[in-house]
Each structure stands twice: as C-alpha cells, then as structure tokens.
Amino acid sequence: MADGTPQVASAGGAPILEVRELVKHYPIRGGLFSPSQMVHALDGVSLSVARGETLAVVGESGCGKSTLARCIIRLEQPTSGHILLKGADITVLAGRPLRELRRALQIVFQDPYASLNPRWSIASLIGDPMRLHGLVARGERRGRVASLLETVGLGPEFMDRYPHELSGGQRQRVAIARALAMQPEVIVCDEPVSALDVSIQAQVINLLKRLQRQFGIAYIFISHDLSLVKHISDRVAVMYLGQIVELAETRAARRRVLHPYSQALFSAAPVADPQAAAARKRIILAGDVPSPIEPPAGCRFHTRCPYRQDRCAREAPQLRAVEDRLVRCHFAGEPGFPPETSA
Amino acid sequence: MRRLTTFWLRYRRNRGAVAGALALAVILALALLGPILYPTDPFDMVGRPFSLPFDRFPLGTDVAGRDILAGILNGGRVSLLIGVLASLSATIIGVALGAVAGYYGGRIDDLLMRTTEFFLCIPSFVLAVVLVAIFQPSVVTVTVAIAVVSWPSVARLARGEFIAHRDREYVQGCRAIGMPDWEIILLQIMPNALPPIIVVSSLMVATAILTESGLSFLGLGDPNLVSWGYMIGVARTVLRTAWWMAAIPGVMILLTVLAINLVGEGLNDALNPRLRKR
Amino acid sequence: MSAPVLDVRSLSVEFESTLGTVHAVRDLSFSIGEGETLALVGESGSGKSTAAMALLRLIPNPPGRISSGAVLLSGRDLMALSEADLRGVRGREMAMIFQDPMMALNPVYTIERQIGEVLRLHLGLSKSEILAEVVELLRLVGVPAPEERARQYPHNLSGGMRQRVMIAMALACRPRLLIADEPTTALDVTVQAQVLDLIHGLKEKLGMAVLLITHDLGIVAETANRVVVMYAGRKVEEGTVGEIFADPRHPYTRGLLGAAKWEEADGDLLREIPGTVPSPFEMPSGCSFAPRCAEAIPLCRGAMPELKDVAPGRQVRCFLAEGRGHG
C-alpha cells in the first residue's frame, strides 16, 4: 500500500475519514462561588485515514485520545472543527442521516465486559444492527449472525449464549462481529485489547488484521501500548494534552521520533527483551501530566521537557513538517535534536 | 427459565425471605379466598357487640356487633389491593419520569427533579390526607393519593440508575449502531436498572398499606368498604376494655408489612448484582 | 548465596464454591534472596495474586483455605504463627503494594496519618519522630515538597504520586520483603517507568527482596532477576530472566513470549496461543495446558507432567522439555 515515498497524509489515495481542527472543551460546573471551568480535551486535532489503513493514536490518560474516538463516531459533539467521511461533512448530522452514517463508522470499546448488554443473547446483540438498519431480512438474520461469528472465529453454538458465559477474548470477538454486521468502512478501536490477557491480545490483534485484509476496513487505533502500536499501525499520531505532537509513518517512528515527548514515551515502554532493556537508556520524565483544565502556556510539554528553553514557555509551537513527518516542537529538525538515546 | 431457577436458588439462601414469602402467600390466600369461604358481610350486625374471640364468632364481634373475622378477611382485600395498585402506579410514574430525566439529563432533568423534590419536601402522609379530603374518599382516590405521594422516591432511584448506565459502554455501543433512544431506554437500560427498583417498589407496598390504614383510621377510607385501618379506628375508643378489637387488625398489618419487608430484602439479595458475584 | 529471605514450599490454596472446590494454587515452591527480584508471571486465573495473598495469610476464610505448604520468612514459618504474631510481620517484615493505590489508601486521612499509623503500630515512634520519618520516607520515594504532601489527602495526589505514597508506606518499617502486585498496571507508561525505576533503586539501596507479580513481560524483562511462570495454578517454568527470554522451555512460556513480542512480527500475524485459560471447574485431565498446546502428544492428555530440574535453578513442567533447547 505504501508507495515508498514518505507521506504525512494517508498513504494510498484519498482519505476515507478526515478530521480537521477538532476542538472539544467540556465545561465542568463550578461550585456556588467558583466559576465554571473548561476542560481542554481536544485542541485542534487534524488527521486522516485511508481505506485499509491503520492510524494509531497514542498517548497517556488525559491526552484526549478517547474523546477523539467518541467525537469521531459522533457519540460526543465537538466544540468546533469538522469530521469528513468520504468527503462529506458529518459534524452536524442528526436524526436519520446520523443513524445512516453509523453504518459506515463503527467502534470497538476497551472493556468487553462493559460493552455488551448482559441481558441479551449473542444472537440479538449481533443481529441488532441488521434489524435497526434493515440490512438483512428477519428470516435470514440468524444465518448471517452465524456467518459473522465464524468470521470472528466463534462457532454458531455461541448464538444463544449470554455475554457472562463468555471469556473476555470471546466477548471482544462478539463486539467486533457486532461492528462488522454494519459492514463499516472505518472502525475506531478504543484500546481494544488492553483489558485482555496477553495470550488473548495476540488472538484479537490477529483477527483485526485479518479482517482489515479481507474487507479493507480503515482502523483508527487508540492505544497506550507502544509496542502494540508499532506492530499494528501504518501511521502513528502521538498526543499530549489534547494536541498531536508528532504524526509519522510507523516505520519512520520506529527508527526515530523527533518530539521530546514521543521520545520519552517510546523509551519508557517496556520491551520484552532483557538484553535490549539493559542496553537501552530510558528517559524518565519528571512529574505528571498537567491538568487539562489549565494547560501550560506556550508549549504544553514544556513543564516536563528535559530540553526546554525560555522560548518554550512563551511561544506555542505549531505542528509543522520536519523531514518525513509532522512535529510540534520549536527545535525539532535542528541538528542533534533531540539527543539520541536509544541504540 | 434457567434465570428463574438461579433466582430461586439465590433467594432461598435468605431464610427470613422464604418465611416472609410463605407468610405473604398465606395472607394473600386469606384475602382472596377468605370472603368466599367465609361469606359473612363485614357490615352485618350478626350478634351481640363485644363478644369475645373463640366464643360464638371465631374472632369475636366489634362495638357494633359485626363479625371481626369477616372484617379481617375483607379488609385484607382492600388493604392489599390499595397497597399493590398504589405502588404499581407510583412505580410506573416514577420509573418513566426518572428514566427520562436520567437518560437525557440537562434541562429535562432539572425540571423533572425540581418537581420531584417539591413532592419530597411535603410530608407525604399530610399530603395524602389533604388529597383524600379534597376528593371524596373512595378506593380510587385513596389509591391515587398514595401513588402521588410515593412516586418521587422511585423517580429518584430510577434517575440514579439511568445516569449510572447511560454512559456505560454498552449503551454507547447501542448509540453507535444507531439504535433509537426509546429502544435504548426500554430494552437496553431498563432490564439492568430494574432490580433495585423492584426491591424498592415491593417495600413500597408495605408503606402504602400503612398509609391506607392511617387514612382509614382517621376516617378517610372508603366508607363502603372495611379495611384494617378502619377497624382499628373503630376500636380505638374501647381500647381499654376490648383491646383485641384493635390488636387483631393491628397484628395483621404488622404481619403483612413484615412479610413484605422480608420478601423485599430477599429480592434485594437475589437481584443485587454486587452480592451476586460471591 | 546466603539463606533466602523468602522460601515458599509446596503452597496450595483452595476455594470452596457452590460448584465445587477450586484449586487456585497447587504445590507452588520458590524462594527469593536478598536484593533479588522474582517475577511471578501469569494470566488472569493463573493463581499468581492468590499466591501473593496467601504469603501474608490474607486469604478470606471461608471460602478460601491454605490447604498445605510452608512460607518461611528469614527461616520462620508464617503458617505456624498466631494471628497476633503475624500482625507483627505484616507491614513490618513483609509489605505489599497493590495495583490500585486509591483502594488501599483511606480517603479521609492525611498522608502523614496513614504512613504514621504504620510507624506507630510497629515501631512505637513518638509524634514528632513520626512527622520527621514520614517526610523522610516521602523524600525517599521521590515525592516533591514532602512536608506539604504529608498534610494532604489521597485525592489531592495524582495516580503516580499515590503509588509513591503506597510504596513509602510499605517501606516505612524497612521490610525485608516487598510484594508488588501489578504495581504499575493502573499507571501511564511514563509514570510506570518512574515507579519501576523507584522500586528498583530502593531495592538496591535497602537490600530488600522483591516479589513482583505481573502479566507484562516487558516489565519482567526490565526489572526481574528470576522468573516463575504460572499457568492454571501451577508453576510451569522457572529460570533467570536471561534463560526464560532466550531459551523458554515450556510451550506456554514460548507462547507468551511470542504473543508479547509485537515488534518482531512486523506486519505479519503474531504467534498466538489458541483458546482460553480453562475454567477452574473444568480442568482438563493431564497437563492443563495441553488443550491449547500446539506440541501436545497423547501423553500430555493423560497425565500431569512433574516439575523437573533441567539445570540448576531451572525447572520446567513439560514432558517435552528435556532434550530441547540449548541447555
């Protein structure tokens, strides 16, 4: 799919889904005497994904990646910005057109224990989308459910079971089958395996990859697990406090990342290899992520950045093209910045 | 079917609840079948007033020579009927308003909950007395009055449950597949929110019976029907000389309320998902 | 090496349930020396957390029961101690940190009061001594402005800070053994790095033994000296970190490693372990891993293999382990 030339926009043709300058601010109600405040969950996020492509969005809790997922599939209304599906603006759709849109755009949630209603059988959970959108005639629904179950690696005997009778991995497969029932073109995967056991994670990831090959689905893959992201994605966006700080092809990001935060994040991720772990120099950031209620002025990362300078506190850097990628840092691209840390 | 079996297995663990269910079954049977098997009119003067229990009449007669057993059996019907109907209507109103308030939030929630709080502020028994006094006392007005004073607590509970569920992933997943709101409320959230509501409304039957007794005691019951509260009200003037006249319906109220509370507890144990996992 | 700090011998834990007895931990033995980190690795249901709770005798009884085994802390058998003596051991000689620090901290008391409680109970320090010691401990675990933090409540702190407070509390009496049950699972990657770094530094400084319970092989590779892999309540393999990662002998260990090394499977499908962990009520006959094992032979379905020493300090529970690998 990649044609060899590094691209910052989606590889392989026109984007199927595009997000432009998305902003989401939540008000939190103040007390009687304290004014209400705003949580800056997303501040101007732009990205796109092409057919059959996987775009990973990584970051720590509070960086806005889950809000992004929920805004994209229109579970939340963005404060400003646009979401385009196949070129059509879907940001303000409501009612019937919004329900129609749901077909193309699906989500798989993190916790398969919470995302399936315990009161309904697997057959009705997977059959719901078909019923609601009139995709499959009533009499043929069970057959279609069975074939979807088979697609996700479960037998037809699961049809009449209830979620509590299934293991975490099996439930996640059901959740995926439910999303597939709509024949979507984009699936937002919000930490789809982080609630699962290691050996089960591999099963689900392999399933997602197989489905992508088979149906050409585009994934927006939200995760905090960097080694997983490096494995599954074509491009990766690193988020910090509601902004993208670096957006690059995964292959390029594996070699090297240019934003100091990406660098710290990538170096902090544990690697299942004791020799590599011993050889590697970790950058351990001081402190915690600042509150998204009052994000730091200037560069949002400057309070924790090991290379900060006076300018960083004063002036907010823009996301700009550096080499083969986009980076939000004043100094990225200067020779020897950021200092190399890993072999 | 299997769900019912597991429900019973869990319910059975609470012995008090089983005893309560038995007692309640007996009381129900008495109220339903009693007047048929013992067809004495409770308003008929069948004998001498103040006849002792186990003398000529099984439970004696009251100040006007009416058969107390007949009163108990017929009164049970009225008490239970009003209790159940009032709680049922209060539950339906409360759940409907609570569900809408909890699911949609925002202004609708503010409006509905301020209304609820308005009702909660007024002492419920006083409100019931006022309502019955304004509209002539009858089975219907008493039932309506009790329902009107009881729904706010259900509404609050239902709202809390719906708020807890509306942001769960399974609900978001249903929105993501384009499910309409009414279906999410009725078919997705409701079955999950119902267990604690069932518990509260079963306990509400007991409160409703007490309220009805209180109203009848004050003479605000349906004048054409005997109820347990009415019987106590009649007997209160002769409490010193014929205590059993008030004690017999009193014990019936006590037993019924106790049985319902035990059943409610048992339902809580059997339906409460947090205890379930053990 | 000198005598181990912790020596666990044939520990078994059972739970009674309406569906029958669950053998959560079976015949588990391991030991940890001074300054050593042993990782207890396994998936959910492997019994790793139950084993940790059993070390402190914190298994709720009923329904749980430590059915056999000995736990020797510096040579003293904890299973033989009275409940009163045991309280002197818990928190003093052996301390534990949990996955979720918010669950373990009492929200209505200040940090000073919570850490001070441990000091008062075990060391009988006076009030002024306690404050000084609390500040010292907070400084030790890298809490900035410790004098101020000591007066704050748990909800004033971030997740990483709370975990540091938990560690400070655990370290209050300079325990010989620190049990860390998924200490960083609830934390973000960069904060996880901070906390793991802290535990490692403190271990070196104080010469503690650390029992690290985790499902994350990345964390194991970075922090542990030795590894015990558990599956369905039993130890299936033990070795040094180098041995386990370079030469895993048990098919389950190999599967776990294959599933964790995302990056090596560039663009390709990962090696996966099929199926799921068996239910404790439907344990397969024979080797409990056999139904998911690609290499299983008929023998595996008939009998549970014994744990065999394949090299010094190296044990494997697999019929096919001998004659395999490079050892």
CATH number assigned to the domain comprising residue C296: 3.40.50.300
- Of C268 and A192, the structure prediction assigns the larger pLDDT to A192
Cross-chain Cβ contact A119/B168 below 8 Å: no
ipTM: 0.79
Cα–Cα distance between B118 and A71 in angstroms, integer? 37
For B200-220, how does the pLDDT look when each residue is reduced to its tens digit (9 = 90+)? 888 888 888 889 888 888 888
The pLDDT assigned to A164 comes to 86
C-alpha distance from C261 to closest chain A C-alpha (Å): 6
Chain B positions in Cβ-Cβ contact with residue A222 (cut-off 8 Å): none
pTM above 0.90, yes or no: no
Q: What's the structural domain count of chain C?
A: 1
H helices present in chain B, as ranges: 2-12, 15-37, 68-104, 106-121, 124-134, 139-166, 169-176, 181-183, 190-217, 228-235, 243-271, 273-276
Number of neighbours of residue A204 by Cβ within 10 angstroms:
24
**Which A residues 158-187 touch C at CB under 8 Å?**
167, 169-170
Question: Which chains are within 8 Å of C by 3+ CB pairs?
Answer: A
C-alpha separations of C132 from C105, C135, C138, C147 in Å: 21, 5, 10, 9
Q: Is residue C183 part of a domain?
A: yes
Cross-chain Cβ contact A203/C273 below 8 Å: yes
The pLDDT assigned to A6 comes to 36
Dihedral of the CA atoms C284, C286, C289, C293 (nearest 10)?
A: -110
Q: Is residue C27 part of a domain?
A: yes
Please give the mean pLDDT across all residues of chain C. Answer: 85
Q: Running along chain A, 343 residues long, what does each successive block of 10 average in pLDDT?
A: 41 81 84 73 93 93 88 91 90 84 89 87 92 88 93 90 88 93 93 85 90 94 88 93 94 90 87 80 79 88 90 92 91 81 47
| A→B interface, C-beta within 8 Å | 70, 73, 75, 98-100, 102-103, 105-107, 109-111, 114-119, 128-129, 132-133, 175, 178, 181-182
H helices present in C99-240, as ranges: 101-104, 111-123, 127-140, 146-150, 159-171, 189-206, 217-223
Cross-chain Cβ contact B177/A115 below 8 Å: no
Interface mutation vs chain B, best among A76, A90, A105, A117, most B CBs within 10 Å:
A117
Q: Is residue C301 part of a domain?
A: yes
What are the φ/ψ torsions at residue C314 (nearest 5 degrees)? -130, 115
Q: Is residue C163 part of a domain?
A: no
Cα–Cα distance between C73 and C96 in angstroms, integer? 14
For C229-241, how does the pLDDT look when each residue is reduced to its tens digit (9 = 90+)? 999 999 999 999 9
**Which A residues 275-314 touch C at CB under 8 Å?**
275-277, 282, 284-285, 287-289
Poorest-pLDDT segment among A151-155, B237-241, C73-77, C267-271: C267-271
Cross-chain Cβ contact A228/C262 below 8 Å: yes
Q: Which of A114, A128, A178 sits opposite B168 (nearest CB)?
A: A114
Per-residue confidence of chain B (278 residues) as pLDDT tens digits? 566 777 787 788 888 889 999 999 999 998 888 888 888 888 887 778 777 777 777 788 887 778 888 888 888 888 889 998 999 999 999 999 999 999 998 889 999 999 999 888 888 889 999 998 898 888 899 999 999 999 999 999 999 999 999 888 899 889 888 888 999 999 899 888 888 888 888 888 888 888 988 888 888 888 888 888 888 888 888 888 888 888 898 899 899 989 988 888 888 777 765 444 43
With an 8 Å Cβ cutoff, is B276 touching chain A? no
C-alpha distance from A334 to closest chain B C-alpha (Å): 45
The pLDDT assigned to C137 comes to 87
| Domain extents in chain A | 255-343
C-alpha separations of A148 from A122, B188, C271 in Å: 11, 22, 23
Domain that holds residue C211: 6-93+173-316
Chain C positions in Cβ-Cβ contact with residue A290 (cut-off 8 Å): none
Q: Which of B168, B177, B192 sits opposite A119 (nearest CB)?
A: B192
For C163-214, how does the pLDDT look when each residue is reduced to its tens digit (9 = 90+)? 888 888 888 888 899 999 888 877 778 778 888 888 888 888 888 999 999 9
Task: Identify the three-state secondary structure at position A162.
Answer: coil
**Length of chain C in terms of residues written:** 327
In chain C, % of residues over pLDDT 70: 96
Cross-chain Cβ contact B177/A111 below 8 Å: no
For C119-145, how does the pLDDT look when each residue is reduced to its tens digit (9 = 90+)? 888 888 888 888 888 998 888 888 888
Q: Which of B170, B175, B178 sits opposite A133 (nearest CB)?
A: B178
C-alpha distance from B10 to closest chain A C-alpha (Å): 17
Chain C positions in Cβ-Cβ contact with residue A265 (cut-off 8 Å): 189-190
With an 8 Å Cβ cutoff, is B191 touching chain A? yes
With an 8 Å Cβ cutoff, is C161 touching chain A? yes
For A67-116, how does the pLDDT look when each residue is reduced to its tens digit (9 = 90+)? 999 999 888 899 999 999 988 898 888 888 888 888 899 999 988 888 89
Residue in chain B closest to A187 (alpha carbons) equals B176
Burial of B114 (0-12, 13-18, 19+ CB in 10 A): exposed
Chain B positions in Cβ-Cβ contact with residue A100 (cut-off 8 Å): 178
Please give the mean pLDDT across all residues of chain A. Answer: 86
CATH 1.10.3720.10 assigned to B2-276? yes
C-alpha distance from A119 to closest chain B C-alpha (Å): 7
Q: Is residue C76 part of a domain?
A: yes
| Domain extents in chain B | 2-276
Chain C positions in Cβ-Cβ contact with residue A201 (cut-off 8 Å): 259
